[in-house]
Amino acid sequence: MRHIISILVENEAGALSRISNMFSARGYNIESLTVAPTEDASMSRMTVVTVGSDEVIEKITKQLNKLVEVVKVVDLSEAEHIERELMLIKVRAGAKEREDVKRMADIFRGRVIDVSDNTYTIELTGDGAKLDAFIQALDQSAILETVRTGSSGIGRGNRILRA
Amino acid sequence: MDRIKTEELTGAQILIRCLQAEGVEVVFGYPGGAVLWIYDELFKQDKIRHVLVRHEQGAAHAADGYSRSSNKIGVCLVTSGPGLTNAVTGIATAYMDSIPMIVISGQVPTHAIGEDAFQECDSVGITRPCVKHNFLVRDVKDLAVTMKKAFHIATTGRPGPVLVDIPKDVTTHTCEFQYPETISMRSYNPVKKGHAGQIKKAVQLLLEAKRPMVYTGGGVVLSNASAQLKDLIKRTGFPITNTLMGLGAYPGTDDQFLGMLGMHGTFEANMAMQHCDVLLAIGARFDDRVIGNPAHFASDPRKIIHIDIDPSSISKRVKVDVPIVGNIPDVLSDFLGLLEKSKTQDIKVWWKQIDEWRGKDCLKYDRKSKIIKPQFVLEKLYEVTGGGAFITSDVGQHQMWAAQFYKFEQPRRWINSGGLGTMGFGLPAAMGAQMANPGATVACVTGESSIQMCLQELSTCKQYRLPIKIINLNNKYMGMVRQWQQFFHGNRYSESYMDALPDFVKLAEGYGHSGLLIDKPADVEPALRETFKRKKDLVFLDFLTDQTENVYPMIAGGKGLTEMILSEDL
Ligand SMILES: Cc1ncc(C[n+]2csc(CCOP(=O)(O)OP(=O)(O)O)c2C)c(N)n1
Ligand SMILES: [Mg+2]
């Protein structure tokens, strides 16, 4: 099953590789990983999307907790949560295609953030499935470049992860 | 107004002060460019003794042996690049067995890092998977706090090696020195007390058990829980087995002790593990060499209680019913408190069954042999040293025979590389044990192949007059490899014969020690007796043993605990 795990970690050089090392050394898979500092600059928040049975996920959270720099770990998928991912996608948009591409972007509530004679760059946020759907909806041969951040997640309501 | 004068010290001076503040008495190391300033400061003081090894692997194993054989922490010091890479085997060895240890490595100056400088390597990157934690100190102001953290992390929770990498310029930069008295880290807070509810549940299971079994590992030794363990076993009358790492945690001569379990464990210990109805596992991790195939193990129903300081060791290979995370001595004391007013089941029938299994006498060997049997040497070693020596070992058949035949009465006396299985560990580990326990009897049980992996340390032993006794069980084979080839590869002894062996007696003499070749069973005991009388000398005993002897019982890889190959089967 797919799980989304949130990790609070000391913002120290090497912390990221310690975490990614642990996944590869023990053969756990990472579908995506995002990391950036929090409002407290001494700490980073990481979101890892992984796939595994409940047993494997339990092992992953235990191994994460064991890392000296990891402050807290929570499996967001255990309860109500929200997930968002940002995608920047550059598509061919000459005179012929412009209107179609723009319309499609509007339907998905995407924004055109850069324009050239023959390209549009569109910004789109949502959960992974929505981004997938947008890619599917486009003319595949028109896609020039895609950049996705991977999922970030947060618990709903009073579900709060802090140090 | 006068300002309080704090001391302005160099990084190298600060490092030495930190080690002194931690009570470090001995550092095992080897100098080089990046650590010259540190060596300079070592030279100028006389509180910390430096032991100059002959290869950095030896430094790491010696520091490790120092930790294992005492309650002190081993420290090793190596230079950048090859100094550090040479130490990696020793660091990984300590990591696999959860041994607290501090490794200090020199690094190229901060401005040169990343430029492929002379003797540069990414020490933090290389060691990351085989340390509990590591640090690169980029600023001399961070050095003291980092050292404090390193000692704290290495010795608390599930212990392990911690590496501190110090660039050369940091050792010359100065700052005010103050060693923190305590340290707290929001991201690192090992659990101590076990959960009271879980402990209650566990004790209830023990009280209901009709076929109880206690299985303990290295965690009991590391947490110094032998006294509590002994109380528990005596109070309950339950049978107990130790893993290879746990030997000595419970007296090896006691009637309730079933011997070691696992791949080369006793018939009775393995059978009791499989057929018990309640299993109490303490500071052990159900690894592949211990329970063999986990599916086979799970095929007999039993309730499992598992006590460990490390939550990630629980339910890793085997699902447990009552997990208890906590410091073992504390948890066992809680157990004892609860057991006080209650009565355990009558387990006479269970003991009768166990005694039947014991009747197999699974460790029997040919005592009339004209060729020296390795088991015989170890039995005599045990007799001659009265069970009280520090015994280090290398890796192979000799290691297993030592574990089977030497009856350890106390913890921290049996020192071997269980997790990584590192040949070459024995001799340098014995140096560490001897440094930590001056005056004690220290013997290294080894094989002709293993001993050659860190042989150069004979020179260190000479320099520091370490009177280690080397028990070389010379079967002219990588015996353990040969055994597997005999059992599982149709007797094709591919590259397992150690040809062109040196004359070990002359070799020992070349290093300034004494050596003795023993090739007759009748000479074994006299040679040992003479040797252990020599309190001041290192003596290398080269026993020419039966080349065809195998270790029994044996569980083949992937097989279940009860699927043992016994000597009588062949
Ligand atoms: C560094 C290292 N290399 C290889 C091995 C694999 N290995 C395990 S036991 C063994 C043979 C050991 O031979 P010896 O020291 O003579 O001991 P014996 O088994 O004959 O008692 C080997 C090669 C190992 N454990 N460690
Ligand atoms: Mg051999």
Q: Which of B95, B133, B187, B188 to mutate to test the interface with A (most CBs of A within 10 A)?
A: B187
Q: pLDDT of A34-60, one tens digit each?
A: 999 999 999 999 999 999 999 999 999
CA proximity to B161, closest of B16, B63, B81, B27: B63
Burial B256-279 (b: 16+ CB within 10 A, else e): bbbbbbbbbbbbbbbbbbbbbbbb
Dihedral sign, Cα of residue B380, residue B384, residue B388, residue B394: negative
Q: pLDDT of B290-307, one tens digit each?
A: 999 999 999 999 999 999
Locate B191 and state its tokens: 């659990």
Which of A79, A97, A120 is at the close of a domain?
Answer: A79
Can you tell me whether residue B276 is helix, strand or coil?
coil
**Residue A56 maps to a domain:** yes
Cβ distance of A10 and B187 shorter than 8 Å: yes
Mutation pick for ligand 1 pocket among B449, B487, B542, B546 (CB with most ligand atoms within 8 Å): B449
Concatenating the DSSP letter of every residue in A80-94 gives -EEEEEEEEEEEE--
pTM as predicted: 0.96
The class of domain B7-177 in CATH terms is alpha beta
pLDDT of residue B570: 58
Cβ distance of A66 and B310 shorter than 8 Å: yes
Asked: is B196-358 a CATH 3.40.50.300 domain? The reply is no
How far is it, in rounded angstroms, from Cα B548 to Cα B479? Answer: 8
- The predicted complex's ipTM stands at 0.92
Q: pLDDT of B128-185, one tens digit each?
A: 999 999 999 999 999 999 999 999 999 999 999 999 999 999 999 999 999 999 999 9
Instruction: Say if residue B397's pLDDT is above 50.
Output: yes
Q: Above pLDDT 90, what percent of chain B?
A: 95
Pocket lining for ligand 1, CB < 6 angstroms: B 394-398, 421-424, 447-450, 473, 475, 477-481
- As a whole number of Å, the end-to-end CA separation of chain B is 89
Q: Which atom of ligand 1 is nearest to the CA of B89?
A: 1
Instruction: Say if residue B3's pLDDT is above 80.
Output: no
Locate B79 and state its tokens: 């230079």
Ligand 2 centroid to Cα of residue B479, in Å, is 5
Q: pLDDT of B528-566, one tens digit each?
A: 999 999 999 999 999 999 999 999 999 998 999 999 999
Whether B11 contacts B34, CB under 8 Å = no
Name the residue ranges covered by the structural domains of chain B. 7-177, 196-358, 374-551
pLDDT of residue B1: 46
Dihedral sign, Cα of residue B290, residue B295, residue B297, residue B298: positive
How far is it, in rounded angstroms, from Cα B300 to Cα A151? Answer: 43
Number of independent structural domains in chain A: 2
Instruction: Say if residue A141's pLDDT is above 50.
Output: yes
Q: Above pLDDT 70, what percent of chain A?
A: 100
- A21 and A55 in a common domain: yes
- A134 and A98 in a common domain: yes
Question: What is the pLDDT averaged over residues A61-76?
Answer: 96
CA proximity to B521, closest of B385, B402, B384, B367: B367
pLDDT of residue A163: 85
Chain B: give the shortest CA distance to residue A20, in Å.
11
| Average pLDDT of chain B, as a whole number | 96
Question: Which sequence positions of B are flagged as catalytic?
Answer: 56, 118-119, 168, 480
Domain limits at A49? Answer: 2-79
Q: pLDDT of B213-255, one tens digit each?
A: 999 999 999 999 999 999 999 999 999 999 999 999 999 999 9
**Residue A159 maps to a domain:** no
Whether A43 contacts A9, CB under 8 Å = yes
CATH label, B374-551, candidates 2.60.120.590, 3.90.1570.10, 3.40.50.970, 3.30.360.10: 3.40.50.970
pLDDT of residue B341: 85
